[in-house]
Structures are given as C-alpha cells and as structure tokens.
Structure 1
C-alpha cells in the first residue's frame, strides 16, 4: 500500500477541508425534507416498534445522514492520536465522514479507503474529496463492500462502520484477518438501530471475540472497539 507523507499540516483547519465540510454539513440539513416525506412510514413503524431510521430507510437513497461535526472531529482526533495510517470506511454516502478520516490519514502519512454502493453517491463523494484537497490520499470504492474490500491490503488501523446495518458483522469478519493489533473500530447508529445492531453489539462486547468495547451517547449512539487478539478482560458494554 502506498503511503504519502508529503502534505501540509493544517488538519481540519486546512481551508479546503474546512470550507468543504461547512458546505456539506449545511447541505445535509435538507435531510429534514426526506424525513418529512417518510412521515407516514415512520408513523406506521412507530406502531410496530421500529425506530425512525429503520422506518425511513426506503427513503434514504438521496439523504446525507451525515456524521455530526462532533463525531467527525472525535474520529479524526482518535485516528490522529493512534497514528492510524490505513483507514477504512464502510458506507461513505456523500463523503462527509470520509473527509474527516481522509484528513487524519493524510496527517499520519497514510491512506483512506471508503466504500459506497449507490453510484450517484459514489460520484459525489469522490468529487467532495477533490474539493477538500484530499483525493491524493483517499479513494472510495464503488459497489458491494464485501467485494471491493476483499483485496484490501492490511494491516488496517482504523475502521468506521456506517453502511447497511445488517452488514456490520459480515464487513467486520471480512476485515478481521487484516486488522492491526490495537486497531480501532467505530460503529454508528447503535441506539437508533438498537434491534438490528444488537447482534453486532453483542459480538464486539463478547471478550471471546478479541474486542474491548464501549458504547458512547454521541448522536444516535456510537460503539468504539479495540481489536486485541489476546484480550481476556471482559469489557463493559452497557448501552
């Protein structure tokens, strides 16, 4: 894997990055109209015990559903502190989280690899990486992530899971042989997809699976796991 450490060191304060993120977070406010169109489905889902996001899922092909600036900055800072050089994302959407993670990869002299199933989102995400000045250190792979990530070289230092929730475990299983000791895994929407993601949370909270995990109340709930093959201590995974 080619790593390139020739870059400016302005981090998220880089004008191209800051301006692009500001524009995208502003544009993402239009998601409220997506949820407005989904209201009948959301109301029916409520009666059936489903979350807002689960009920609105069929309407989300044109929605940003972005990470918040708070979560984006947290991931950037954790990746920087961990000196993560090989950063992978499942579910890049329009590329907001990709910019935060690609900025960390650039600062660490590494590379970011994202994935996106929908062609129109893939094209826009790639364009947003160009606008942020990060394309040299990043790429997004179009199509089924199980196929596009299979040839990825390891070791992988940092993973962000934010695509289809049923795929969190299969994607994690695909990446496990490639994970570096101490690799960090962020997974979003733990609370908003509580039922769907319960098997995933149970998996990363089981010490027999070599993870140490906590779930934090940021946005719609985020799990943060560390991969340690020799871990024996049972983690506290209350959520």
Structure 2
C-alpha cells in the first residue's frame, strides 16, 4: 500500500460510515471480489457533489452503483451510471431502489464512451473508473461538457492494477519507466500527463482509497 497503515486507519476513523444500503453494497463487493472505491474515496465523491451543488453527474464505469450512491448522498440531482455488465447494472438498480435513490439515476447498459456521446451536459462532477488505458480518452470526451467549476475524479491513480513505482518514475521524468506491455500503468500515466497539462484545468492527487486524481475546470 502507498499509505501507511496508521494513516489509512486515521482517515477511516474520521470518515463517514456507510448507510445501511451502502453496507450491503460493501458486503456484496467483498463476497464477489469486486474492487469497490471504499468509504473514504466515496466520501470525497460526496463532498464534491456538495461543493459543486451538483445537478448532473456522469460515471465512466459504475459497477453496481456504489460510487453513484456517494454522489447521491452528497445531494446530486441526477447521476448517469454506465456499465457494460448487465448483471452488475441490474444489481445496482436494485440497491439504489432499496435506498430510494433510483429515481435520480439514469442506467445505461453500454460502453461509457458510447453513452457520453448521447449526453450534452453540462456535468458538475464526473467519475472515471473504467479501463485504465481509456482514462485519457474519457477525459477528452467529457471535458467540453463540464460546467465551469466542474470536477473530474479518476480512481486507481496510485495503486490497484498499476505499478506505483513505475508511474511515479514516469511522472518524475524517467524515460521508459513503464513496461511497454503494462497497459494499465501506461494508461494512468497518460491520464495524469493529460490532466496535469490541460489548459483551463487544475489537478491534485489525493492519497485516499486507491488514489484519486481530482481535476477542476477553472476557465
């Protein structure tokens, strides 16, 4: 892990607890070995929704609705969930219905990159949490549809399916730091290069959960 155990425990001890439905979602994730963002990263999504007074949120990859539940908990008026696994999306609709939140959701069973073409925005918050090698493409697709002050959050930028040391070395300027066949690490590196150098945007990485890159539209 990138964070020390003590820091991780500290963040968890000061963070919000799950709702009853979120607790069942978390248990479902554990039983099915599904890589949830977890409550600490979820709390960031909740805070972003509150701070942007989010009317519309778009998710590139929604699984069974756990991340969407945090945006909705933060007061988001509407969340577009995208998921190519029909069973996961159906389970997400069931969970969010149990929580009384499904009427604020649009459930898209498709590739997220196809779905974004059908929505004009503007979006106040966006989550990118699908194939890592497609993160940069997702940002390029949604950036023109962000509201001023809108926020894009990318998950798994520090660890998970990537080589943290290789990505760090790349960011520090080491040529060839990432193996050519490590598509996930290369995808995250490309994404961070893209958002950190995008005109009109500011990016900060938060060492929460699996690492969140938080990018705000400032112009």
- Say whether the fold is shared (TM-score over 0.5): yes
Residues 65-95 of structure 1: CA distance to partner in whole angstroms, max 9, x if unpaired?
Answer: 1111111122102211221111111111111
Q: What pairs with 1:103-118 in structure 2 (closer than 5 Å)?
A: 103-104=73-74, 107-108=75-76, 110-118=77-85
Deviation at 1:221, TM superposition (A): 1.1
Matched, 1:78 2:48: yes
Of the structure 1 ranges 191-200 and 150-159, higher mean CA displacement relative to structure 2 is found in 191-200
> Partner of 1:151 in structure 2?
118
> Partner of 2:140 in structure 1?
173
> Partner of 1:163 in structure 2?
130
- Preserved CA contact (<8 Å) 1:126 1:139: no
CA distance in 1, matches of 2:62, 2:208: 19
CA distance in 2, matches of 1:174, 1:100: 23
> Partner of 2:206 in structure 1?
216
Residues 33-59 of structure 1: CA distance to partner in whole angstroms, max 9, x if unpaired?
Answer: xxxxxxxxxxxxxxxxxxxxxxxxxxx
Matched, 1:185 2:159: no
> Partner of 1:48 in structure 2?
none
> Partner of 2:193 in structure 1?
202
CA distance in 2, matches of 1:153, 1:128: 27
Matched, 1:20 2:10: no
- Preserved CA contact (<8 Å) 2:37 2:210: no
CA distance in 2, matches of 1:71, 1:121: 20
Deviation at 1:210, TM superposition (A): 2.3
In the superposition, the TM-score normalised over structure 2's length comes to 0.76
**Could you say which structure has the larger radius of gyration?**
1
Unaligned runs of 5+ in 1: 1-11, 32-62, 230-239
Deviation at 1:103, TM superposition (A): 2.8
What is the SS of the residue equivalent to 2:119? Answer: coil
In the superposition, the TM-score normalised over structure 1's length comes to 0.70
> Partner of 2:61 in structure 1?
91
CA distance in 1, matches of 2:155, 2:28: 21
What is the SS of the residue equivalent to 1:89? Answer: strand
CA distance in 1, matches of 2:72, 2:109: 17
Quote the RMSD (CA, aligned, Å). 1.8
102 and 139 in structure 1: CA distance in 2 versus 1, 3 angstrom threshold: farther
Deviation at 1:188, TM superposition (A): 0.5
- Preserved CA contact (<8 Å) 2:148 2:218: yes
Unaligned runs of 5+ in 2: 1-15, 168-184
CA distance in 2, matches of 1:81, 1:179: 15
What is the SS of the residue equivalent to 2:113? Answer: helix
Q: Aligned pairs, how many?
A: 180
